[in-house]
Chains A and B, each alone.
Chain A
Amino acid sequence: MTAARHRIAVVGAAAAGLAAAEALRRLGWDGVITLVGDEPRPPYDRPPLSKQVLSGAWEPERTTLRDTSQLAALDLDLRLGTRAVAYDPVERTLTLDGDRGDVLRCAGVIAATGVTPRTLPGTDGLRGVHVLRTLDDALALRRRLAVPGRRLAVVGSGVLGAEAAAVARALGHHVELIGSQATPMERVLGREVGELLAEVHRAHGVALRPGRAATGVRAESGRATGVVLTDGTVVEADDVLLAVGSVPAVDWLRGPGAEAAGVDLSDGLGCDEFCAAAEGLYGAGDVARWYHPVLRRHLRVEHRMNAGEQGLAAARNLLAELDPERFGERRPFAPVPYFWSDQYDLKLQAYGVLAGAERTEVLQLGKDPLRLAALYGTSGHATGALAIGLTPRQARSLRGLVATPADWAQARARLAEAVDA
């Protein structure tokens, strides 16, 4: 073995990258592990950014995932504040930017570079325009919200927009939630549950502008003053949060090497059921679109739990590819996705795949409309389940309903049983 065969590079130093690096070490990789992160901070957790960090309940340090001694124990070649600029999967060479501009020969690479927020045209560099992906993003918006009585326009009513709107409203700001969807989180939760959520936001004093897309931001002297909607209406605002989705960070993977190796970069990093995109190249977390062998379709999951779970799976399978005698056979990655969202005192928990459902059925659990279980699916099969206001045991039991695509009627009966229990 040459020295080059003794390095695995994990590109991306957030939840998925950290999980992969830890798994590599724990499973017995005794070569170099290079962990590359474009932010200067050690790995930190993102879900609190739109919750406890934005609200001011937590100081930023609280999101740090591992302390110095825990990181040191992993014996990493840690490259923070460093960006991967190219990877050639044929030569297995990774090029980094920064002072040294290193070209590293690798036995394998795990891509965990996540996503980059989308913005609106013409908003680059405008003061008062925010996105919410990094800790610095969250702290910038938090500083603005530290002054009472701001007018915040949130563009995009998905999970991130809805959570940030709830936090800003709880801090006493005037909040407008603008979204092309008919209700907050409609694409994930469906119209019926979305309407309930809309009512919660209205009851807390958020002004909803559903069914409206934003075309741009109005500005004076380089500072945002409002959001322009498709019908020409302007929503006046001191600050604008753009929560209009994201783009997988795969530019560093593009190039002739990727083409030669047949790497699919059409929506994130296309991976097979083992999370492999090419020999020696695996994907994990928000950036990875992999073939789910049970659901029999490709999925790209931008949720926190998947980051950890897939980081672990990618690490295990890369090791198994490099040395099957030592690390065993590769295993298909077939998780039951999970996410949660906190808005006001409401907790939403979801198992499986809800987005894009053709069919939804909501079971109310009593007089409180915000105690419910719901089933989501397509073509006669249930693929996702939602819990709001259930007991922990009830909520956990929903996972089993959608662990494999179940016949709708059967899943419906089991759901009723689970919440009556």
Chain B
Amino acid sequence: MQITIDEAKCCGAGQCVLVAPEVFDQRDEDGIVVLLDASPAAAQHAAVREAATICPAAAIQVRQ
């Protein structure tokens, strides 16, 4: 799995951090997403896909 994020799209909702805290974090100053792990282990895949689906700004793209 390969994750890419589009910082310019991110609206700072933080929903990805709530769903997959081992993969996503937010910058303290503006809440923009920080990708902690661009190719996480299989155990994280379901959470990452959920994060991509619910991201209200469509800022997370996941490719296999």
B54 and A305 contact, CB distance less than 8 A:
yes
Do B28 and A47 have beta carbons less than 8 Å apart? no
Q: A392-B26, A392-B27, A395-B31 are in contact. Are A347 and B12 (CB under 8 A)?
A: yes
Known: A305-B13, A392-B12, A395-B14. A340 touches B50 (CB 8 A): no
Q: Are A65 and B28 in contact (CB under 8 A)?
A: no
Contact string against A for B residues 1-22, beta-carbon threshold 8 Å, 1 for contact and 0 otherwise: 0000000010111110110000
Within 8 Å CB of B31, what residues of A? Answer: 391-392, 395
Q: Is the CB of A312 within 8 A of B53?
A: yes
**For this complex, into which size category does the number of interface residues on chain B fall?**
20 to 34
Interface of B is mostly: loop
State A391–B28 Cα separation when bound (angstroms). Answer: 7
Q: Which of B17, B27, B56 has the most CB of A within 10 A?
A: B56
For A26, the chain B residues whose CB sits under 8 A away are: 49
> In the complex, what residues of A have CB within 8 A of residue B11's CB?
47, 340, 342, 347
Contact B56 A340 (CB under 8 A): yes
Given contacts A392-B12, A396-B26, 9 further A-B contacts (CB under 8 A): A70-B63, A303-B56, A305-B55, A311-B53, A312-B54, A338-B56, A342-B11, A347-B11, A347-B12
Q: Interface of A with B (CB < 8 Å)?
A: 15, 19, 22-23, 26, 45, 47-48, 65, 70, 303-305, 308-309, 311-312, 338-340, 342, 347, 349, 391-393, 395-396, 399
| 6 cross-chain CB contacts under 8 A | A311-B53, A312-B50, A339-B56, A392-B26, A392-B27, A395-B31
